[in-house]
Amino acid sequence: MRRSSVVVVLFAGVLLAGCGGSSAKTPTHSSIPTRLFRIPSSAMEPTLLCATGPEAPGCTGKADDLVVVQLSGAKGLKRGDIAVFRTPPEAAMKCGEGGIFVKRVIGLSGETVREDKHGFIDIDGRQLNEPYISSAARQGDNFHFGVTWHVPQGDYFVMGDSRSESCDSRTWGGVPARNVIGPVTGIVRSGKTLPVS
């Protein structure tokens, strides 16, 4: 099965501020600019959807979601946040593509991340609560079971929510803080802005 790296596509170069023109409130600060990015792959399913089709394995949406990204870099980024970032060169070499990706922040600078033999993630020996991962998604990718990674200083360890469809830090390492574009603060689906979970 080919793993998807969730390359995000800048949506029409649109820069937004505040609510982004939606009738629903977007959880952003009006003084920090935002930008929309399109989600074209299934590595973050079911949190972020992409359109179903023969060229889109694992996608379940009627259309690609758009994400509202706060252009604040890594400032204030924390575990559990979904972030958009520029991949390190290793991503293109090991996954076949690089560029701008979206993943969930799992490990922070200096931490030890381990995936146990059941697909659960431990951070410095303590199991991470991941309500966004289904049991099937957790068991769907056993390639990294029993593997341990150390997050370099100044880096973030990121993973896709659809573990079997995600080529992520488990394969190519950490994301340097300087590569982070910013956190996802809203999801635009079917013309409505949804909160990020």
| pLDDT tens-digit readout, 42-74 | 999 999 999 998 778 889 999 999 999 999 999
Q: What is the pTM of this model?
A: 0.84
Question: 116-122 long-range CB contacts below 8 Å, 24 or more apart?
Answer: 116/145, 116/146, 117/145, 117/146, 118/145, 119/145, 119/163, 121/159
Q: Phi, psi at residue 114, to the nearest 5°?
A: -135, 135
| pLDDT tens-digit readout, 89-147 | 999 999 998 999 999 999 999 999 999 999 999 999 999 999 999 888 888 888 999 99
Q: Quick one: which of 152, 164, 60 has its CA closest to 119?
A: 164
Ordered structural domains, the chain, with CATH: 9-108+157-191 (2.10.109.10)
Give the 3-state secondary structure of residue 139.
Answer: helix
Question: d(Cα 123, Cα 175) in Å, to the nearest integer?
Answer: 17
Within a 10 A sphere around the Cβ of 153, how many other Cβ atoms?
A: 10
- Whether residue 160 contacts residue 44, with contact meaning beta carbons closer than 8 Å, is answered with yes
